[in-house]
Structure 1
């Protein structure tokens, strides 16, 4: 028996079809709703109050939700959504009667049809949020909200551009042009309805006697976070209604023609799409609260600008102002939608959504009519500071300020603080790190993930540290080893407790890498921990701890390391670890006297090269001996040629270059050792260089091989160079 919860595959299918619906709905709503209806009403001479009614009707129709839970109890959510969209398309066919009507009759018809359209739409909207909730998870809620908005706004942008082109044709620029737009809208709206039918859904409308919307409302008020979410949603809704008056303001007072009005709406849609794309990486990581606060107070400023901007200004000023205003509105709508989805209870979803939209309807009716009346007052008052719609836009400023204050009290679990958010948004370094983290979690390409992870590892931001900590908490992440290595190369003290925790785990797959990373943290806590590990029964743990202890500058275990380094039973990795520890701990360099014995060629050429090249790295010699071995391994003799090219600056190497090459090519390695001993200075001032010279003098040249011989020449050159 399956529950109402969907499987991962069903959610993926649901998201795919829901996004297809959002794309088609962007076309349908643009042709059937908002701007087209306003322009038709203005065409027939609608008053400000009537325009306010139209602005509010999309939300005011939620009054019918008073009866939805009881009326549709037991009906599947997707079925309700499908028929709601079919019916609203059929209702719009009656706009065709406007071709034969004029004046108040035409306006009344527009108001009636739009009311019925919005009522049908409300039935779909009531189940839309619960459907979104069923196809998303807590971690993807914001992502799906933003993707849905992107699809809707992108196709809306295209439809608005088509509307601009159609209304630019003089022959159909009047009511005929509007009706053509409506006809296209009905067709696309029907297609969008059929996309809904493919969404998997086992949720039905639940109704429990006594659980009417008023009871649900008062129960919701007792839940602090849910109550705040409701008030933020209703304030956001009110702000949106206020700013729908931008269109009639530009048409009636700035006197922009109908086709240019659609061009203006294109700018608004572009702003909303921009808001969606900007918000997409941040929604589920930053949270809603901080951006709601910042955006609300920015809207206060923009609302005041709208109220005082003279109607004589060039149209481009209103386009720019409209872009930023709509951008902020888009942010508010997306963030409040995310909060709304998170606030919907697991049980009685439709009852809760019906309550929310019912009170949205009441509020939108009040705000819409109030905004219309304020517009009438503004027109008649003709104040020198405010434009005709100044009082209406000032109401938007008041509501935006209230919304910002309310958002301050939201908890929104997982949200960052305003300070943390501004540190991300207004710092190139932090923003880059944040986007890297987003990209890392979005891509599955292993190469891109490693490249992005390298960038995250370099960053010293809080965002990077948070993501690295998430990876460290994964018991078998493929990136965990890379992260621990990056914590050695780019230390992050804030993550030291996490590294210590990993290094202390007896059976962790990444324990040795974590011990290695501790070599970049010279603090007493790490020294104590590493000294304790020197007594561990496992040789690889002991050697790794010794190496890290040496790297942080602690030399107290030098005698232990010397003893362990002479153990012939050690494997290659342990030998190299102790060799590194010796090189760092033994500052006098006594261990160098046995350098060639430590680089035992019987353990293989690569081991021998590694030990000798390691000494070169500790001294920071140039060119690195490892590079010479690299050339030698690619082509025999190339390493020596490169060494002699550098060493010719010294007289002995300049005079005997050909001889040394001849000895090397013929395998006369003891001859080269003799030459080195003859040319090394008798007295070397630097103590470590002296031990290095002794290593060459005391070497049994009968055991000389190519690898050791190249190293002998190399170290001879470095000792002579240092003395010259």
Structure 2
């Protein structure tokens, strides 16, 4: 019997196994190569608030290149492309070693260039990731699988962040040297993640259709009332994530926390995401995403009001508690809105559709990130 691009149930099970393993390694890799560690590099070299705002937005800002993905990789197997860009995502981070020989503005410039390249490759992989999720799941179990992927990622992330806290609390590794050593381990973990990704079965090729550009797809999506509401919720949730990410450098700059304590704070944030994933897995398929999004939004607004009112004189413990609850609600909204969007995502042209979604996110991230910084 001739095989179609759709996977059998056996192939889907194999795909899910490698997907979960990939996320376990990815949790290690991103914890060492992304967000918190990059903020610590930036603060070490006295980066400006604008630079910190750019770092907060860079993870989404690089989505501006996504309209060209289908054109560049037309006809290529989407898993092979995804695994390839994921490997490159880690390899470019070896350039951080140059920070050991630089200082001041030149170091900040190198940091921002490498982090931008890191996120360029990452964003291409993420645009293909939604298609991968759909390939190895069905409508009935997609919510559970999305939550499971998040749990796998954050489980390993928490473990490695705890170990990172211990490493950075050792005097010899508390500064630049310790941060650079962590990058080497991050690159190794990222290559393992790319390897697991390459083992996911797929017969889907990336297709570039002339005339089906980002503008056309955006226009079509906005005409569909259901899709429009879901996309707007998705975009707003990620804009909020960009703003909240700035609490990491805020704690070190305003409270004077050590590198180790800042990473410990990021452990608390990861725990919040795990709890959010658990809640989503338990209730989203039974109750639906929309009621949960409504209540999570109300409570997240309350936590942001508290962030506005809280002062640096308050005990550090309260910042950690507030960070946990804020990230719990923000992450729950993000997980649920992602699920809402995947439900209406077209079977054909998913890569182009994701390019449109992330292109809008890139524009929002630029505005929100620089303004917040």
| Interval containing the TM-score (normalised by the shorter chain) | over 0.9
Match of 2:331 in 1: 330
Segments of 5+ residues of structure 2 without an aligned counterpart are none
Q: Give the C-alpha shift of residue 230 in structure 1.
A: 1.0
Whole-angstrom distance in 2 between the partners of 1:66 and 1:279 = 31
Q: TM-score, normalised by structure 2?
A: 0.98
Match of 2:58 in 1: 57
Q: Give the C-alpha shift of residue 278 in structure 1.
A: 2.3
2:217/2:353 contact within 8 Å kept: yes
Match of 1:119 in 2: 120
How many pairs are equivalent? 372
Q: Give the C-alpha shift of residue 126 in structure 1.
A: 0.9
Segments of 5+ residues of structure 1 without an aligned counterpart are 373-724
Provide the secondary structure at the position in 2 that maps to 1:139.
coil
Superposed, which structure 2 residues align to 1:681-720 within 5 Å?
none
Match of 1:264 in 2: 265
Q: Give the C-alpha shift of residue 279 in structure 1.
A: 2.3
Whole-angstrom distance in 2 between the partners of 1:359 and 1:279 = 25
After superposition, the C-alpha distances for 1:319-371 in whole angstroms (9 at most, x for unaligned) are 11111111111211110111121121011111101111111111111110111
Q: TM-score, normalised by structure 1?
A: 0.51
Match of 2:172 in 1: 171
Provide the secondary structure at the position in 1 that maps to 2:282.
coil
Match of 2:99 in 1: 98
Higher Rg: 1
Whole-angstrom distance in 2 between the partners of 1:95 and 1:306 = 33
2:50/2:370 contact within 8 Å kept: yes
State yes or no: 1:80 paired with 2:78.
no
After superposition, the C-alpha distances for 1:576-631 in whole angstroms (9 at most, x for unaligned) are xxxxxxxxxxxxxxxxxxxxxxxxxxxxxxxxxxxxxxxxxxxxxxxxxxxxxxxx
Whole-angstrom distance in 2 between the partners of 1:367 and 1:174 = 30
After superposition, the C-alpha distances for 1:503-542 in whole angstroms (9 at most, x for unaligned) are xxxxxxxxxxxxxxxxxxxxxxxxxxxxxxxxxxxxxxxx
Match of 1:139 in 2: 140
Match of 2:154 in 1: 153
Whole-angstrom distance in 2 between the partners of 1:366 and 1:333 = 19
Superposed, which structure 2 residues align to 1:462-481 within 5 Å?
none
Whole-angstrom distance in 2 between the partners of 1:254 and 1:161 = 21
State yes or no: 1:299 paired with 2:300.
yes
4+ runs deviating over 2 angstroms: none
Match of 1:211 in 2: 212
Q: Give the C-alpha shift of residue 131 in structure 1.
A: 0.6
Provide the secondary structure at the position in 2 that maps to 1:202.
coil
Match of 2:43 in 1: 42
After superposition, the C-alpha distances for 1:614-649 in whole angstroms (9 at most, x for unaligned) are xxxxxxxxxxxxxxxxxxxxxxxxxxxxxxxxxxxx
Superposed, which structure 2 residues align to 1:99-498 within 5 Å?
99-372=100-373
Whole-angstrom distance in 2 between the partners of 1:279 and 1:89 = 30
Bigger proportion of residues as helix: 2
Q: Give the C-alpha shift of residue 313 in structure 1.
A: 0.7
Q: Give the C-alpha shift of residue 223 in structure 1.
A: 1.0
Whole-angstrom distance in 1 between the partners of 2:131 and 2:29 = 22
Whole-angstrom distance in 1 between the partners of 2:94 and 2:30 = 14
Q: Give the C-alpha shift of residue 248 in structure 1.
A: 1.1
State yes or no: 1:27 paired with 2:51.
no
Match of 1:3 in 2: 4
Q: Which has the higher contact order (CA 8 A, sep 6+)?
A: 2
After superposition, the C-alpha distances for 1:39-67 in whole angstroms (9 at most, x for unaligned) are 10011011111111011000110001121
Match of 1:488 in 2: none
2:15/2:200 contact within 8 Å kept: yes
Whole-angstrom distance in 1 between the partners of 2:206 and 2:354 = 11
Q: Give the C-alpha shift of residue 208 in structure 1.
A: 1.0
2:284/2:292 contact within 8 Å kept: no
After superposition, the C-alpha distances for 1:20-49 in whole angstroms (9 at most, x for unaligned) are 101100000000000000110011011111
Whole-angstrom distance in 1 between the partners of 2:154 and 2:331 = 10
Whole-angstrom distance in 1 between the partners of 2:5 and 2:148 = 24
